[in-house]
Amino acid sequence: MSRVKLKRFADNAGRPDVIEPGKATYQQLGGRWHAEFFRNSNPITLEVGCGKGEYTVGLAERYPERNFLGLDIKGERIWRGSTRAEALGLTNVGFLRTRAHDLLTHFAPGELHEIWITFPDPRPRDRDIKRRLTAPRFLDLYQQVLPPGGLVHLKTDNEGLFDFTLETLQQRPGATILAHTKDLYATPELLPHAEDIQTTFERKYRTLGVPIKYLQFQLS
């Protein structure tokens, strides 16, 4: 492992906004994020698969009256998001290093207010369908950690993942599709819903002329 990575992992270990294996609070905050981490009662938004935390930090900067968490399994990616949040002086943002399928280990039922899924791995092979972050088993998890009416947002460049998600929701009892488009930037009325924050992936795909897909839904 490079010295740079070792330094970043050491930084994460000492940062209070990073919750990861090895820390006393890891797996101990479920039901207590408001009281013990954010120390306020403001609603919590989670970005699943946050990567470098661009969306998480962008939202936290835009909405200081709300709380934001970025979830990712890669410590170096989380370091980048945490570093940017620290540089901006943000106190309403944190990062959780874990896997998406462990959501119920870290959150109590209804503890989250909203979920974002931004440019996830599309898992195009049929044998990987269950690993897609909008597969039924993940939707089941989101439904448990969100309150009734809690919003879920998906942004992706991948048409296959978008179509799969749309079809999955259409077949799911109680799911409500609130907005969807296969070309977000040609549908300006939806840009406020999508927050028009651009990640590195989004800028890359837009430069290549790939339309950005957006989907907003609720799970009941």
The predicted pLDDT at position 121 comes to 95
Annotated binding-site residue? 36: no
Q: What is the pLDDT of residue 188?
A: 92
Q: What is the pLDDT of residues 67-108, one digit of tens each?
A: 999 999 999 999 999 999 999 999 999 999 999 999 999 999
Find all residues with CB under 8 Å of 89, minimum gap 6, and list them.
Answer: none
- Over the stretch 97-112, which tens digit does the pLDDT of each residue have? 999 999 999 999 999 9
> Chain centroid to CA 188: how far?
23
Rounded CA separation 54/70 (Å): 9
For 138-164, how does the pLDDT look when each residue is reduced to its tens digit (9 = 90+)?
999 999 999 999 999 999 999 999 999
User: Is the Cα dihedral 56, 58, 59, 65 positive or negative?
Assistant: positive
Q: Name the active-site residue from 11, 121, 126, 163.
A: 121
Active-site residue flag, 121: yes
Is residue 183 part of an annotated ligand binding site? Answer: no
115, 211, 213 from 204: Cα distances, Å: 23, 11, 14
Using pLDDT thresholds of 50, 70 and 90, give the confidence band for residue 177: very high
User: Side chain identity at 197, as an amino acid letter?
Assistant: I
For residue range 6-24, what is the model confidence (pLDDT) as tens digits?
Answer: 888 898 999 999 999 999 9
